[in-house]
Amino acid sequence: MKTGVIENHKTNVYTKEKQAQLEELTKVVAQSSYLPELHIYPKAGLMNDPNGLAYFNQKYYVFFQWYPFAPVHGLKHWGKTTSKDLIHWSEQEPALIPDRHYEKNGCYSGNAFEYEDKLYLFYTANFKTPAGKIPKQALAIMDKDEKIIKVEKLIIDSGVEGLSGELRDPYVFSRNGLFYMLLGGSKFEGDEHPGFGEEGVLLLYKSENLLDWNYQGLIDLPIDTGYMLECPSLIEVDGKEVLFLSPMGMASDETRLNNRFATVYLVGELDLEERIFKTDQWDEMDAGFDFYAPQAFYKEKQPLMMAWFGCGEPEYPVDEQWQHGLTFTQKLHLKHGKLLRFPVDEILGAFSEGENVTTKSIMPNTSTYHLQLTDGFDFRVGSKEDYWSFTYDTDKEEACISREGLDQIIDETFGFERKAKVKHLTVVDVFVDNSFVEIYLNEGEIVFSFRVFQQITGTIYSTAHILVGTLNKKK
Ligand code: FRU
């Protein structure tokens, strides 16, 4: 049970009068021993999906799903933070507050689209009724002075026959002078009923002015889409299109898709006329425990992304005034048709060059560090009583992370291990940022993102040659 210091209900709406209360919570969070240095985390309350990611007006904008008043999935606001270098982030503030009747159950996820020097923020206005949700998609427009104005007329105010009311997470992009929107949804196989249907679907809408939208139909996908699709995202990477999807209820296979909800990417081409994603290949996006709802965006032509560093409602051992955070900003590339993700250069530059270490155990002097292994590969982080580990089985060509040795157990329901097949492992980059860990194999061919909560971080046991970089002082 999570206990709020000041309030513990889920329906608090931010107003200026509540600023003092939020500051109190922020002070409590600042005392936590699990705070990262480089990852974005909520100054109070719960953060989930990244929203409205953009490089706009010479700055990076990160909006995010936020319940500021308690570490629970309460009434969602959009929080906002900005940065010039992806390392230093501005104070977080509420950007979209669910204060209109049409969004009475929260301002849900969506993306940002730059148009005529303004940032158009598309989002789902969450509206529940006893008979199920009534789908509503909304728009707010931000100018270069960061003034945000909600467009009071909903841009989509109806559902689609045969689909459940759970339609959400608009992702808007342009093609040949026209605008398109992807939306996640759920289809009924038989009779309609409240809640989710039985199959996840991807909807396509079209617009000439970003305000009036027309439904085009469903997009054909060659994968098991579970019972509901969330958070679609589309981005051009090295001449191909890459589609991110977060399906709920996708079946797991031997080593992949073992989390509560899956996240996958498809590489190919979106045919808007035929409404089909012509897929060359697809895969699970992250092999770790805590990853969901990635969103893609561009800095000029460079494709980038961030994801929620969490998945569903994981049971973390800590009971503090903050929950979750976002992954590093990652740059995207394709190699032999596979998606590679790797931290942006700004993040790599935040660590010292690295020192070669060959001893059995090392103790970095910070809880934020970068390890690079080019041989040996197996290692353990922590003490005998409290550790997590990485191993690579050369015969099976399988990498494995395990949280079984941790003193503070995390979400037992979904197991202690995650595995991934990887041929010819040549380099492992590990970024430990206190309780946030990202491990990149072969420069991002496979990525494990996961949380650990250790009393003392930093003792590493390994027989490999390790290059250890520690965090440069943040200026
Ligand atoms: C994904 C999601 C979205 C929704 C938002 C609500 O994590 O469930 O589908 O818009 O989170 O916070």
Residue 123: phi, psi to the nearest 5? -155, 165
Number of domains in the chain: 2
Identify the CATH number of the domain in which residue 419 sits. 2.60.120.560
Pocket of ligand 1 contains residue 76 by CB under 6 Å: yes
Task: Please give the radius of gyration of the chain, using alpha carbons only, rounded to the nearest integer.
Answer: 22
Would you tell me how many other CB atoms lie within 10 Å of the CB of residue 204?
18
Query: Which of 73, 103, 109, 124 is the pocket-test mutation for ligand 1 (most atoms within 8 Å of CB)?
Result: 109
- Of all atoms in ligand 1, which is nearest to the CA of residue 230? 9
The reply to whether 175 and 274 lie within a common domain is: yes
- Of all atoms in ligand 1, which is nearest to the CA of residue 65? 12
- CA–CA separation, 356 and 372 (whole Å): 9
The reply to whether 327 and 370 lie within a common domain is: no
Q: Tens-digit pLDDT profile for the chain (475 aa)? A: 344 444 457 999 999 999 999 999 999 999 999 999 999 999 999 999 999 999 999 999 999 999 999 999 999 999 999 999 999 999 999 999 999 999 999 999 999 999 999 999 999 999 999 999 999 999 999 999 999 999 999 999 999 999 999 999 999 999 999 999 999 999 999 888 889 999 999 999 999 999 999 999 999 999 999 999 999 999 999 999 999 999 999 999 878 999 999 999 999 999 999 999 999 999 999 999 999 999 999 999 999 999 999 999 888 888 789 999 999 999 999 999 999 999 999 999 999 888 788 767 888 878 999 999 998 899 999 998 999 999 999 999 999 999 999 999 998 888 999 999 999 999 999 999 999 999 999 999 999 999 999 987 678 888 778 888 888 866 5
> Residue 40: CA atoms inside 13 Å, Cβ hemisphere, count?
32
**Which of 423, 466, 434, 430 lies closest to 447, judged by CA?**
430
Is 102 exposed, middle or buried (CB count within 10 Å of its CB: 0-12, 13-18, 19+)?
Answer: middle
Report pLDDT for 4. 43
Pocket of ligand 1 contains residue 168 by CB under 6 Å: yes
- Of all atoms in ligand 1, which is nearest to the CA of residue 184? 9
Q: Give the DSSP letter of residue 252.
A: P
The reply to whether 337 and 363 lie within a common domain is: no
Pocket of ligand 1 contains residue 233 by CB under 6 Å: no
Domain that holds residue 432: 353-474
- CA–CA separation, 52 and 59 (whole Å): 13
Is 444 exposed, middle or buried (CB count within 10 Å of its CB: 0-12, 13-18, 19+)?
Answer: buried
Report pLDDT for 8. 52
The reply to whether 171 and 279 lie within a common domain is: yes
The reply to whether 209 and 298 lie within a common domain is: yes
The reply to whether 416 and 338 lie within a common domain is: no
Query: Which of 65, 73, 285, 324 is the pocket-test mutation for ligand 1 (most atoms within 8 Å of CB)?
Result: 65
Would you tell me how many other CB atoms lie within 10 Å of the CB of residue 394?
9
How far are the Cα atoms of 131, 166, 194, 200, 407 from residue 188, in angstroms, in the given order? 15, 11, 10, 9, 44
**Residue 8, domain member (yes or no):** no
Domain boundary among 343, 365, 394: 343
Beta bridge partner(s), residue 283: 265
Pocket of ligand 1 contains residue 77 by CB under 6 Å: no
**Residue 275, domain member (yes or no):** yes
Query: Which of 63, 75, 111, 168 is the pocket-test mutation for ligand 1 (most atoms within 8 Å of CB)?
Result: 168
Report pLDDT for 354. 80
382: alpha, beta or left? (left if phi > 0; alpha if psi -120 to 50)? left
**Residue 267, domain member (yes or no):** yes
The reply to whether 330 and 365 lie within a common domain is: no
Domain boundary among 343, 371, 396: 343
Report pLDDT for 122. 99
Query: Which of 63, 75, 108 is the pocket-test mutation for ligand 1 (most atoms within 8 Å of CB)?
Result: 108
Q: Whose CA is nearest to atom 6 of ligand 1?
A: 108
The reply to whether 370 and 265 lie within a common domain is: no
- CA–CA separation, 109 and 168 (whole Å): 7
The reply to whether 329 and 455 lie within a common domain is: no
Identify the CATH number of the domain in which residue 76 sits. 2.115.10.20
The reply to whether 317 and 373 lie within a common domain is: no
Pocket of ligand 1 contains residue 230 by CB under 6 Å: yes
- Of all atoms in ligand 1, which is nearest to the CA of residue 108? 10
Domain boundary among 343, 371, 405: 343
Pocket of ligand 1 contains residue 166 by CB under 6 Å: no
The reply to whether 264 and 377 lie within a common domain is: no
Per-residue tokens: 462: 């390994």
Residue pair 91/81 in contact by the 8 Å Cβ criterion:
yes
Per-residue tokens: 100: 């209109």
The reply to whether 157 and 51 lie within a common domain is: yes
